């Protein structure tokens, strides 16, 4: 999921977060997700999975820990989420590990009925809780499902706090995060409690927890069992086949790679051959492109794909035509030094996101139109093991092992 205003979490609890308002299609730009901690207070690190070395800092990349992920399936694969704990004694929560944002938000008891389906953090029950005495709101640029955002319909009201945070075996003795004090009704059906951002500027979180600044992600579709895994401090080599191919990060604030071209069934168009920065967002279910790119892709796939006027920003096709369509999409990315360019492929099975709620005869296709940005979500990521290398500001991909 992507965020609509930008601010950075402070490293001293007494300071406040800096805010800058922006349209809802903008993204959060920075992350410092943990309060500064002396090295002596960092958690004990254990080696739990085979991993690849990728840290430029020289820290041992064999120190890894993994957390299982679970698929939220609702007609199509929507999100993967896993467990964390907060406070002393620990209180359990589930969160989406979201590369499209940079901070942690979980419901607090003040959220009440607006968060009735989620667990709520009880600050008075934690002996290590600290109140940051600041509040703000955030607006998301993409939501949990496949529907486009409409105005401020994905919004949270937040209070900045700090407490012990544990993800798998990585513990931050005092981590800064946000308690949700209110939220729009769009969040209420979610089977997970909150969102934990893992932007390319989240190195402070890993440093405070004593791990190298790198993580690996595996998203297994419902059709293959629906499991997944987040590995902190490295990548789990048992979960993929072949070498990891890397592409350098471009731009700031988001996980972005530069596309060298987009091909559909081996065909392309001039619009698809321009150099485009693509945001990689593990919290977005499908894909978003600007209208010229989306329509260029759809024009190659089928003339029967058309905008759905009932839900602006979406496209659809008669559901009975889906099995007849061949729609293999290849996106070319630059390699790092010593590696050539490579393609990432989205298979035909991703074309349909399922029937529209109010037009069950019409199936939503995987690309929505955005307001000025291009974004790749889980429709691509679930077909690869992905490595998110904060220390070296690059992303890597290998065919997953299922």
Query: Annotated catalytic residue: which of 26, 190, 281, 391?
Result: 281
Distance CA 161, CA 107 (A): 12
Coil/strand/helix, residue 94: strand
Print burial letters for 280-310: b (CB count within 10 Å at least 16), e (below 16): bbbbbbbbbbbeebbbbbbebbbeebebbee
For residue 324, give every residue at least 6 positions away whose Cβ sits within 8 Å of its Cβ, in sequence order, or none: none
pLDDT reading at 22 higher than 50: no
> What is the mean pLDDT of the segment spanning 294-318?
94
- What residue ranges of the chain are covered by domains with CATH 2.40.70.10? 6-237, 240-399
Distance CA 83, CA 93 (A): 6
Element (H, E) at 379: helix 378-381
pLDDT reading at 382 higher than 80: yes
Coil/strand/helix, residue 296: helix
- Which tops the pLDDT comparison, 385 or 72? 385
Distance CA 236, CA 220 (A): 14
Element (H, E) at 208: helix 203-209
> What is the mean pLDDT of the segment spanning 14-30?
26
For residue 253, give every residue at least 6 positions away whose Cβ sits within 8 Å of its Cβ, in sequence order, or none: 6, 27, 28, 29, 30, 199, 200, 201
- Per the CB < 8 A criterion, the answer to whether 102 and 176 are in contact is no
> What is the mean pLDDT of the segment spanning 115-121?
94
- Which tops the pLDDT comparison, 29 or 115? 115
Query: Annotated catalytic residue: which of 77, 98, 204, 389?
Result: 98
Task: Give me the half-sphere count of Cα atoms (radius 13 Å) on the Cβ side of residue 380.
Answer: 23
- Per the CB < 8 A criterion, the answer to whether 262 and 295 are in contact is no
pLDDT band for position 273 (cuts 50, 70, 90): very high
- CATH tag, 240-399: 2.40.70.10
pTM to 2 decimals?
Answer: 0.84
Report the percentage of the chain scoring pLDDT > 90.
61
In the annotation, is 26 catalytic?
no
In the annotation, is 98 catalytic?
yes
Q: What are phi and psi of 348, to 5 degrees?
A: -60, -25
Average pLDDT, the chain: 82
pLDDT value, residue 143? 65
Model pLDDT for residues 171-198, shown as the tens digit of each residue? 999 999 999 999 888 888 888 899 999 9
pLDDT band for position 150 (cuts 50, 70, 90): low
pLDDT value, residue 35? 29
Distance CA 64, CA 54 (A): 12
Secondary structure E strands in 120-213: 130-139, 155-167, 170-183, 194-197
Distance CA 261, CA 99 (A): 23
pLDDT band for position 320 (cuts 50, 70, 90): very high
Q: What are phi and psi of 159, to 5 degrees?
A: -125, 130
pLDDT reading at 120 higher than 60: yes
pLDDT value, residue 8? 28
pLDDT reading at 302 higher than 90: yes
Model pLDDT for residues 226-250, shown as the tens digit of each residue? 789 999 999 999 999 889 999 999 9
- Per the CB < 8 A criterion, the answer to whether 37 and 61 are in contact is no
User: Other CB atoms closer than 10 Å to residue 209's CB: what's the count?
Assistant: 25
Coil/strand/helix, residue 210: coil
pLDDT band for position 78 (cuts 50, 70, 90): confident
Pick from 145, 142, 69, 46: nearest CA to 385: 69
Instruction: Identify the CATH assignment for 6-237 out of 3.40.30.10, 3.40.718.10, 2.40.50.140, 2.40.70.10.
Output: 2.40.70.10
């Amino acid at each position: 999921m992507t965020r609509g205003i930008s601010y950075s979490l402070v490293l001293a609890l007494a300071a406040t977060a800096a805010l800058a308002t922006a349209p809802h299609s903008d993204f959060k730009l920075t992350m410092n997700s943990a309060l500064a901690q002396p090295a002596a207070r960092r958690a004990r690190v254990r080696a739990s999975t085979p991993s690849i070395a990728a840290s430029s800092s020289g820290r041992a990349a064999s120190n890894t820990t993994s957390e299982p992920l679970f698929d939220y399936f609702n007609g199509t694969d929507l999100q993967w989420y896993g467990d964390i704990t907060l406070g002393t004694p620990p209180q359990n929560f589930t969160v989406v590990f979201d590369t499209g944002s940079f901070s942690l938000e979980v419901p607090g008891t003040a959220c009440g009925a607006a968060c009735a389906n989620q667990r709520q953090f009880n600050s008075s029950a934690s002996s290590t809780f600290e109140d940051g005495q600041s509040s703000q709101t955030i607006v998301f640029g993409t939501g949990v499902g496949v529907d486009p955002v409409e105005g401020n319909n994905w919004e949270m009201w937040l209070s900045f706090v700090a407490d012990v945070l544990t993800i798998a075996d990585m513990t931050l003795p005092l981590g800064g995060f946000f308690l949700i004090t209110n939220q729009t009704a769009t969040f209420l059906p979610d089977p997970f409690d909150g969102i934990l951002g893992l932007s390319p500027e989240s190195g402070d979180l890993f440093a405070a927890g004593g791990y190298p600044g790198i993580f690996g992600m595996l998203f297994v579709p419902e059709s293959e069992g629906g499991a997944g895994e987040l590995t902190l401090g490295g990548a789990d080599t048992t979960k993929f086949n072949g070498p990891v191919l890397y592409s350098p990060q471009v731009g700031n604030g988001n996980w972005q790679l530069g596309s060298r071209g987009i091909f559909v069934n081996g065909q392309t168009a001039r619009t698809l051959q321009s150099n485009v920065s693509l945001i990689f967002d593990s919290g977005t279910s499908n894909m978003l492109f600007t209208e010229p790119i989306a329509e260029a892709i759809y024009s190659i796939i089928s003339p029967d794909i058309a905008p759905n006027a009932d839900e602006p920003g979406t496209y659809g096709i008669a559901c009975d035509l889906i099995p007849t369509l061949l729609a293999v999409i290849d996106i070319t990315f630059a390699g790092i030094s010593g590696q050539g360019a490579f393609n990432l492929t989205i298979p035909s099975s991703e074309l349909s996101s399922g029937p529209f709620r109010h037009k069950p005869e019409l199936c939503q296709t995987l690309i929505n139109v955005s307001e000025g940005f291009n974004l790749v979500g889980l429709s691509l990521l679930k077909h690869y093991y992905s490595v998110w290398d904060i220390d070296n500001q690059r992303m890597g991909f290998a065919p997953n092992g299922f």
